[in-house]
Amino acid sequence: MPPEIAEARASHVTTPPMPSRRFRRLTLAVVLMAAAFRLPRLELRPMHGDEAIHAYKCNELWTTGRYVYDPHDYHGPTLNYFTLPVMRLSGARDWRDAGAATFRIVPAIFGIAAVAIIALLADGLGRPAALGAMLLAAISPALAFYSRYYIQEMLLAFFTLAAIACGWRYVRAPGIGWALLCGVCVGLMHATKETCVIALGVMMAAGTGAWVWRSWGRTAACVRGNSPGRHSVERSDEGTTRERQDALHPRQDSSLAARARNDVRGAWSPLMHCCAALLTAIAVSVSFYSSFFTNPCGPLDSLRAYGLYLHRAGGAGLHDHPWDYYLRMLLYTHSAPGPAWSEALIVVLAVLGLSAVAAGKPLHLAGATSAPASTTGGRGYGQSGAVAQPGAAVPHALGEAAADPRLLHFLAVYAVLMTAVYSAIPYKTPWSMVQFLVPLTLLAGLGAVALLRWLKRPILQAPAGALLIAAAAQLGVQSYRTSLDARFVNDYRNPYVYAHPHRGLERLAAYLEKLAAVHPDGRRMLVRVITPDCWPLPWYLRRLEAVGYWEGVADDDRLIAGPTPVVITTLDLHRAVESRLRGDYHVSYYGLRPDVPLLVYVERGLYNAFVRTQSGPVGGPPAPSRPASAPPAQPP
């Protein structure tokens, strides 16, 4: 075989090399580090209102076997369905038997998986950059904190990253398997949260932008005269030329008709794979939203929900924040006496990574040597400006590694657009930034490698590496403080705490349990909760069997027919409630959220019976006892 054809055939192979043993070991170490920040003490933080709502919906599914999608603030059903195996393993009959950890372990597992799946991008990022990205994702305070929240964000982040990873695997080795897996991930994205359309739209824009970027680079290089053989060479994305492809099969493709058939066949397979992936995505989404074909209106409701979200995203709401809200939170937060928070390391390294991709600088660490690579009109990521062949080996301490400009261009555009879109939307909640923080960690991994590569000399690389290690350790300390330090897990000095309940709710639940223990009806003691915003009270009162919830006091006085053993309300409604209570009540105060106190009215006889069973301080901060007088009320 002529050596030219042998070289062409070897360079045409796109199967990535197997990861080295050292790379696998380091990946495992990083994944274990991610687990160390996400799995311990999941019940440490009080239950957030959003978490309690999702736990309630999951309890409905667990106890009735039926889930009906509600487009008003409940999001997609995947979180609830993926919790069912955990509920089964826990042996819980319903949510009364389950603790917060039973629910929170689900997003925690997906948060760990989001770190691990970056390894599938290692042959596009380069293995050192992939390890850096995994490490930063593992120790990011925001990613660790929201991995411990029973909300959809980490599931959506994982499915989005998995869709990108499967798409990249398909680019590297086209096949129906990767196409179908990508479709499954896209379907799960849509079945997780409606905001997936942002990521999907940005993916398409990033793919188009990356293609334009590379096309422009090839054109510019041809104009500069940097492409040898430019009169007859047209390089494909796989790093081969039409001339080289002709050399591989000189006899089979000797006629124009055969060449045309091959071109049609080559274009037809990806089209069929894309159609199969699209149908798979639709099937997965419809299956979940229809509650596996028991609720035919679910898929249509999932589309109607976008009208609500468009209105919400337009602004004029409680959660509206300026465009730089997320960036200020990531760069530096010190709102009260105590520690400061900053993920500036990730942001700065992401900017360096973006600069490296834009400049087309080599992204191999010093000492790596590229395998022979075909030159191209585009900017290079091998040595001497040459673009390494996809699948070509780059010897390195971590095994063969090479950064592929196709993936780098895509990720650069994707990360920038995701950050811009989420910053532009007026409606902002801190956990939403997870969706662009994950791609920023990928760019940050590139930035760390680029920084060491640009410094070149070991005398400069050593202090830079030490600074990176120190900054990463500081991120780890913040992650511990944010997620595992009881002083800060729901403290408002923690920038990731948002509209979070007080620990007083745990004391309130214990107080009511003790009241029920001395009441003749036990846990069937009647409790009336009167407030338009009760969550997460249903979580903390879930073990009491006769709790009713009302948004306000009825004008006809029939709401509170006395005597009622326990009435809970908020400060803005307490006068209306007191005017309708009959009898003498003891009043205690508890905190629902900052600036939202709860007033707990306990019938005097019940309270006295409770006091006789206690040897220490009881209840919450007491208010003066008062008789609550009202006109006689009719029974409800």
Give the residue from 447, 482, 517 where a domain finishes: 482
pLDDT at 261: 54
**Does the residue 633 lie in any domain?**
no
Residue among 541, 583, 592 at smallest CA distance from 565: 583
More confident residue, 304 or 222: 304
- By CB atoms closer than 10 A (0-12, 13-18, 19+), residue 110 is buried
**Does the residue 488 lie in any domain?**
no
One domain, residues 88 and 23? yes
- By CB atoms closer than 10 A (0-12, 13-18, 19+), residue 90 is middle
**Number of folded domains in the chain?**
2
- DSSP letter assigned to residue 385: G
Starting from the edge strand earliest in sequence, which strands make up the sheet with 622-628, in order?
547-550, 527-530, 566-570, 596-603, 583-593, 622-628
Q: Give the integer Cα–Cα distance in Å for 148 and 41.
A: 10
pLDDT for 375 beyond 80 = no
C-alpha count within 13 angstroms, C-beta hemisphere, residue 627: 3
The 3-state DSSP composition of the chain as helix, strand, coil percent (nearest 5) reads 55, 5, 35
pLDDT at 346: 97
CA distances for 404 relative to 8, 408, 448, angstroms: 19, 6, 17
* Span of 37-46, 177-186, 353-362, 432-441 with lowest mean pLDDT: 353-362
One domain, residues 427 and 568? no
* Span of 195-209, 229-243, 407-421, 509-523 with lowest mean pLDDT: 229-243
One domain, residues 115 and 46? yes
pLDDT for 371 beyond 50 = no
Banded model confidence at residue 301, pLDDT cuts 50, 70, 90? confident
- Alpha helix segments (H runs only) across 151-255: 153-172, 176-192, 196-224, 242-248
Residue type, 377: G
One domain, residues 316 and 458? yes
Q: How many other C-beta atoms lie within 10 A of the C-beta of residue 502?
A: 18
Q: What is the mean pLDDT of the chain?
A: 82
One domain, residues 21 and 53? yes
Which residues, listed in sequence order, are joined to residue 623 by a DSSP beta bridge? 587
Q: Give the integer Cα–Cα distance in Å for 594 and 34.
A: 31
pLDDT for 465 beyond 80 = yes
pLDDT, average across residues 266-280: 84
**Does the residue 414 lie in any domain?**
yes
Percent of the chain with pLDDT over 70: 76
Per residue in 33-90, pLDDT (tens digit) is: 999 999 999 999 999 999 999 999 999 999 998 888 887 767 899 999 999 999 999 9
Residue 146 contacts residue 497 (beta carbons within 8 Å)? no
Residue-range definition of the domain harbouring residue 617: 504-628
CA angle (91 as vertex; 86, 97 as ends), nearest 5? 95
pLDDT at 268: 59
One domain, residues 231 and 376? yes
**Does the residue 383 lie in any domain?**
yes
Whether the bond into 532 is cis, omega within 30 of 0: no
One domain, residues 334 and 196? yes
More confident residue, 589 or 240: 589
Banded model confidence at residue 398, pLDDT cuts 50, 70, 90? very low
> What does the block give as tokens for 620?
């919450």
pLDDT at 55: 96
* Span of 148-152, 158-162, 293-297 with lowest mean pLDDT: 293-297
Give the residue from 413, 448, 482 where a domain finishes: 482
Give the residue from 482, 512, 542 where a domain finishes: 482
pLDDT, average across residues 22-43: 96
Sign (positive or negative) of CA dihedral 103, 107, 110, 112: negative
pLDDT for 173 beyond 60 = yes
pLDDT at 269: 83
- DSSP letter assigned to residue 538: H
pLDDT at 257: 58
Per residue in 111-136, pLDDT (tens digit) is: 999 999 999 999 999 999 999 999 99
pLDDT for 142 beyond 70 = yes
pLDDT for 153 beyond 50 = yes
pLDDT for 443 beyond 90 = yes
Banded model confidence at residue 335, pLDDT cuts 50, 70, 90? confident
- By CB atoms closer than 10 A (0-12, 13-18, 19+), residue 449 is buried
Most confident of 79-83, 333-337, 364-368, 490-494: 79-83
One domain, residues 408 and 539? no
**Does the residue 495 lie in any domain?**
no
More confident residue, 109 or 531: 109
DSSP track, 297-326: THHHHHHHHHHHHHHHHTS-STTB--TTHH
pLDDT for 279 beyond 80 = yes
Which pTM value belongs to this model? 0.82
Q: Give the integer Cα–Cα distance in Å for 281 and 608.
A: 61
C-alpha count within 13 angstroms, C-beta hemisphere, residue 506: 12
**Does the residue 496 lie in any domain?**
no
One domain, residues 444 and 299? yes
C-alpha count within 13 angstroms, C-beta hemisphere, residue 56: 19
pLDDT for 304 beyond 60 = yes
**Does the residue 191 lie in any domain?**
yes
Strands 566-570 and 527-530: parallel
Per residue in 555-586, pLDDT (tens digit) is: 545 556 567 899 999 998 888 888 888 788 89
Whether the bond into 621 is cis, omega within 30 of 0: no
One domain, residues 433 and 478? yes
Q: Alpha-carbon dihedral of residues 345, 347, 352, 358, nearest 10 degrees?
A: 170
Residues 6+ positions from 282 with CB-CB distance below 8 Å: 187
pLDDT, average across residues 102-119: 98
Per residue in 587-612, pLDDT (tens digit) is: 999 988 888 899 999 999 999 999 99
Residues 6+ positions from 76 with CB-CB distance below 8 Å: 69, 152, 190, 191, 192, 193, 194, 288, 289, 302
One domain, residues 438 and 531? no
Residue among 407, 462, 345 at smallest CA distance from 118: 407
Residue 29 contacts residue 116 (beta carbons within 8 Å)? no
**Does the residue 487 lie in any domain?**
no
One domain, residues 555 and 597? yes
